[in-house]
Amino acid sequence: MTRPSRRAVLAVGVSAVLAGCADETSGRVGGVPSEPERITYGDDPSQWVDLHVPAGGASRGLVVVLHGGFWKAQYGADYGAPLAEDLVARGWTVANVEYRRVGNGGGFPATLDDVHTAIGAVAADAPGPVVTLGHSAGGHLATWAGARLRLARWADGPALTHVVSQAGVPDLRAAVADDLGDGAALAFLGDPDPDAATYEQADPLTQVPLDVPVWAVHARDDDTVPFSQAEAYVDAATAAGAEATLVEVTGGHFGVIDTDSDAWTACVEVLDSIG
């Protein structure tokens, strides 16, 4: 059953007031989290998750962090580590996922296999909400993960409860047409002329509506992944009866993963609304 249609645009600008009040509004809890536990979910050196557990063991839920980098091997999970450290201090259990990328055995469908398996490795017994949070290409993966259990190849595994895409790429056809990342989407798909079946398996826009809420947090001044990616997804999702929210921020492509930025504050506020 789909959720009621909803489309909201939240404008978040650069705010000196928020910056000055960061200590009061951070939401961080006491205690120093322990070092993350490294969990391997396959034999490849890129198949691992760093699991961060909040001090004291009480958790608001699980956030699965999926890093970006246009699915390319030269970009890794170090991009997700600061987000994991910030969120565990706020009381979340956080899984920072590494996966095979284009250039080291990844691409379609191997990268999707890894995301599915990694979620299964950390979320099977997770109490509370299970949220994917992904930046750029990781936003594609985070949104795709919300639909994966419908697809025969990935039908077994724990379900998500929420999705947060940060400057994500949920429209692969547009990414191919716009040549985002100098052909990165085609390289990920592994076919110079992907067919409809490939898009049905890999493209979040093709998979609307999801049965879980999606937030697309995106800056209009993003010059790497256009704001239109988020707009197109939210428009299509809400038209199909899904719950999808466009959260407009500033800060270009990387503000959403800068834990000192107002764009990151907007992401934290989304998570605060969940758990």
Average pLDDT, the chain: 90
pLDDT of residue 227: 98
pLDDT of residue 57: 76
User: Based on the number of CB atoms within 10 Å of its own CB, is 76 exposed (0-12), middle (13-18) or buried (19 or more)?
Assistant: middle
Residue 155 CA to residue 161 CA, distance in Å, equals 16
pLDDT of residue 22: 34
Is the predicted pLDDT of residue 9 greater than 70, yes or no? Answer: no
Strands 93-98 and 162-166: unpaired
In the numeric block, which tokens belong to residue 274?
A: 């969940």
What average pLDDT does range 107-129 have in this prediction?
96
Contact 49, 96 (CB under 8 A): yes
What average pLDDT does range 31-41 have in this prediction?
82
Query: Of 118, 115, 167, 171, which is closest to residue 145 (Cα–Cα)?
Result: 115
Q: Please list the residues that pair with 162 across neighbouring strands.
A: 131
Q: Among residues of the chain, what percentage have pLDDT more than 70?
A: 88
pLDDT tens for each residue of 37-95: 999 999 999 999 999 999 987 999 999 999 999 999 999 999 999 999 999 999 999 99
Is the predicted pLDDT of residue 1 greater than 90, yes or no? Answer: no
| Contact partners, residue 109, CB within 8 Å, separation at least 6 | 153, 201, 202
pLDDT of residue 125: 85
Banded model confidence at residue 127, pLDDT cuts 50, 70, 90: confident
User: Based on the number of CB atoms within 10 Å of its own CB, is 20 exposed (0-12), middle (13-18) or buried (19 or more)?
Assistant: exposed
3-state secondary structure of 49: strand
What average pLDDT does range 203-221 have in this prediction?
98
For 114, other C-beta atoms within 10 Å of its C-beta total 24
Contact 218, 229 (CB under 8 A): yes
Banded model confidence at residue 185, pLDDT cuts 50, 70, 90: very high
Is the predicted pLDDT of residue 15 greater than 50, yes or no? Answer: no
Banded model confidence at residue 28, pLDDT cuts 50, 70, 90: low
pLDDT of residue 238: 98
Q: Which residue has the higher pLDDT, 126 or 2?
A: 126
Query: Of 142, 81, 126, 176, which is closest to residue 270 (Cα–Cα)?
Result: 142
Evaluate the omega torsion of the peptide bond into residue 45 and state whether it is cis, within 30 degrees of 0.
no
Residue 198 CA to residue 189 CA, distance in Å, equals 8
pLDDT of residue 152: 97
Q: Which residue has the higher pLDDT, 24 or 122?
A: 122
What average pLDDT does range 154-162 have in this prediction?
97
Is the predicted pLDDT of residue 137 greater than 50, yes or no? Answer: yes
User: What angle, 0 to 180 degrees and rounded to 10, lies between the N-to-C axes of helices 110-123 and 137-145?
Assistant: 60
| Contact partners, residue 228, CB within 8 Å, separation at least 6 | 174
Determine which helix (DSSP H) or strand (DSSP E) holds 48, and give its type and residue range: strand 48-52
